[in-house]
Structure 1
């Protein structure tokens, strides 16, 4: 399945925009959290989606 991880700053500027493929939602969620931690974006507005379904969100 295809997933998209995006991160925005308060002005709406796109900071991170990645797409990837995993077999399960949990694999994608785990990877998304790892990427957010690597980039220090855990407390920055972000979302992880699959086919329009929101899997992770922080505002």
Structure 2
């Protein structure tokens, strides 16, 4: 399992979400991240999902 970091922000830059996600690969992490954001109603907020190596998997501003 790999660890991924999911963060979301308000328009003023305040961090409103800072979660770690465990997944087998980048695609699985992306799906989990999108699902988590949808459940928390944060898909329209600025967010990003990064891998352990710093690869940007999801981004919305």
Whether TM-score is above 0.5 comes out as yes
Deviations 1:21-40 (A, max 9, x none): 21111110000000110011
Cross-structure match for 2:32: 31
Shift of 1:20: 2.0
Once superposed, which parts of structure 1, at least 4 consecutive aligned residues long, lie more than 2 Å away? none
Output the TM-score relative to the length of structure 2. Answer: 0.91
Give the length in aligned residue pairs.
59
Structure 2: gaps spanning 5 or more residues: none
Output the TM-score relative to the length of structure 1. Answer: 0.94
Structure 1: gaps spanning 5 or more residues: none
Cross-structure match for 1:56: 58
